[in-house]
Structure 1
Amino acid sequence: MNAFLKELAIQRWDDHRYYHHSRINQSLHLVSAISFLVAYGLVFIDPAWAALLAWGVSMTTRQAGHFFFEPRGYDEVNQATDDYKEAIKVGYNIRRKIVLMGVWVSLPVLLWWQPSLFGLIEPAVGWEAYAHDVGMAWFFLGVTGLLFRVAQLAWQQSLAKGLVWMSKILTDPFHDIWLYHKAPWHLLRGEWIDPMHHVHAESDAPVAEVQPR
C-alpha cells in the first residue's frame, strides 16, 4: 500500500508540475473537476446523461486548457523539453488525446448516420433518444479509454503502474479542487502563469510533502 500511495503521489506531482503552468488551464481544471463530481453522482441515476456532462463539459474544459492555454516548448521550471515530457507521460499525452478526442467527436456523427449501429442497437426515435444513445456511446468510450490505457501500461511497464494511473484519473476531480481552487483568484490578479515556486522545493522535500500554491 505504501508503494501504491508513493507512486500515486509521484504521478500526481509530475502531472501538476509538467502540465499545469497556466492559470487559465488550472481554472478550467477546477470547472472540469466540479462538473465531473456532478457526473459521478449522475452515473447512479442515468449513465448516459452523466457521460454527456462528463464529455460535453468536464472533458472539453479540461482538454481546452491543455490544447490552447498550456505553454509548450522548453520548460524552464523543470528544465525539460516538451518532447521529453510527452515521451514520459504516464497517461494520455497530446498525440493520444488527439486520437481519443477524434473518436469522441466521431461517435455522434456515426450514430446520426447509423442510428442502429449497423443493427447492434435499437434505432433512436427523436432528439432525446438520440442524445441518450450518444451519451451511452461516450460512457463506453470513457470506460474503454480508461481500461485500454491500463492494459497498455501493464504491457509496457507494469500492471501496478496502470492501476495507480487509473486510481489517479478517477480521483483527479477531488484532488484538482483542492489543488486549483485558488487559480481563478490568481487569474483575476493578472497572474497568467503559475510561478511554480514549490517545484524548486522538490529537491529539499519528499514528493508527497511538496505542497503546490
Structure 2
Amino acid sequence: MKKKTPLNRKRVLADPAFELTRQNNAEFSRACTANRLLRQAFKLGMRNKADRYVSGRLTKTMFKILQSDLVNGRGERRVPQGVLTTLKGFNFNRDTNLQNVLKAPYSIIFDNQLMRATISFPSIIPQAMIDTASGANAFMLTALAASVDLEKEAFPVEPVQTDILDLALQHHKDLQLQIPVIDYQPDKTVIVALGIEFFLDDRGSITPVDKKHNALAVVKVF
C-alpha cells in the first residue's frame, strides 16, 4: 500500500522548516512575471525572430537581475530593484546572435520630452557589416521600445521597421529608426530592442528565410 506522506501544501505554506522554499518560490514567481511582461511588450517584434526556449532563458536572466536587488531581503527581492542593465545583450533567438550578425556601428538616444527612442546607423556596408549564412539577398531592420514596470501589466508595442534592403548594395547611408515610447513615465524602465530579418528577393517576389537566421536583442536599457 502507498504510505501517506506528512508533507502537504498546508505544511509547506506554514512550517518554518520550509521558509527557504517559500522564499525561493516567491522570487521565482516574480522572475516569471517579469519574463512574461517583457515578452508581452515585444510580442509583435519577436515574430520570426525568437526561439522556442526564449521564455526559460529570459526567466533565468530575470532571476539573475532579481538576485542583484540590494534593497530588499531574501524572499522579498524584486526585478525592478535589481540591475536591469543586465538585460542588455539578451538575444531572443539562441541560434543567431545579433552582435555577431549585425556589425555596423549605431547609436541610441532617448528623448523623454518627445517620448521617442532613436537608433541611428551612419553607414551600413552590407558585405562588410552583415553576416548571414542563410543565402538571403535582402534584409530588414526592426526596432522596439517599451516603457515597462516588470511587475505590472504590459501591452504589445508596435515595431518600427526599415524597408526591405538589398544586401548586394554597396552602401546604405543615414538609416534611422525613430521609435515612439508609449506611456512613458519617469518611474518606468525603457527597454530598446533591435532586430534583423532576412529575405530572398526573386525578381520582386519576397520570401522570408528560416527564422533561425534572424536575430532580435535588447540593445539599451534606460
For Structure 1 versus Structure 2, the TM-score category normalised by the shorter chain is: under 0.3
Q: Which has the higher contact order (CA 8 A, sep 6+)?
A: 1
- Give the TM-score, by structure 1 length: 0.24
Higher helix share: 1
Which has more radius of gyration?
Answer: 2
- Give the TM-score, by structure 2 length: 0.24
Higher strand share: 2
